[in-house]
Structure 1
């Protein structure tokens, strides 16, 4: 397997390999110090390349970081890939598949996710791109709402409000757990699979006003005891 990877790398243009090396180095440094403390010399030192090589491929740190963050945005938007093993009518596992990506991304790269927050605060253009991406992802769910609930009397703007509010719960938990390192949440010692299932189950309950199917719960089955 390593040999195949080496051959694939050898076939890639030298410039593409250098850019990937710089991006990987920038990700590593971002995880340690955050965007506001990021320096070109730290990135090139991490990459093991001459400082002058950086400006051969990137005009400044902002352009490098934007390229990294845009790749993360594309990753979150890859719905077909995320849901590739789930049938369209399996709403609980469709939700869970997205939460699995979100939880894994926060767990593995909390610095990058925090960098997105920092970029949103500092750069109105990037904030608009991130919000547009977030809105598109949630709109996919809002668009199918009339078909899932044909008797619903909710107006489209009310459906969007509900979907955004439910999604916000998970976003807050992920930020508190992996970025803010909230000790109360860390004390729960939840695995990525457990947290993704709990967040998906809570979203499902809020959206469908019922519990997820019992057979699909591996970690949050006690949630089923909450009924009237």
Structure 2
């Protein structure tokens, strides 16, 4: 069964979410769901299909919160640079990059609801440096100086494909930063940790109300770059 098209994803998002600030990033307000099951069920009803993955765009996931916090606290990471927010979801990380002074930000996601959510959230935060990328960017170069990826290691085959691509971008000179709350398929042996955070998250989405979450980058010995100095993240 092919999912039916949604006439107005933006109207759906406005009706099914509230304007909320992620706990670790209170500077940013997003259209977010307060509970996971109702928004999940309503999305399936709207699309006329069951068994859909979670509406990732409707939540501020731990990896994205940590990465957004890191960027806001270290704006030199993105200031004046061309940035990709990969698997952007709500656009939280991309909005943080825009607020931190990025020259422009491509927020890439393949979910049509995410496209609408990113646009709504960018407008809500008065950021005009964001472009929504609706195509699959894995395997492309894009001319980005910085690539940001939050919470992308939850599925084995996809994680392997994504991390091979991120390493290739890093080898070509892009600065790659990854936010992750301990997902199973994060290739830690190929990465270097640069910050730790304790991120409040809904208990129904995760296995704990506070997720120990880290920001990583590819190991410099794999890319020829210089290692950043590890720093501690802010406790909520």
Q: What TM-score, normalized by structure 2, do the two folds share?
A: 0.25
More strand by share: 2
More helix by share: 1
Larger Rg: 1
Q: What TM-score, normalized by structure 1, do the two folds share?
A: 0.25
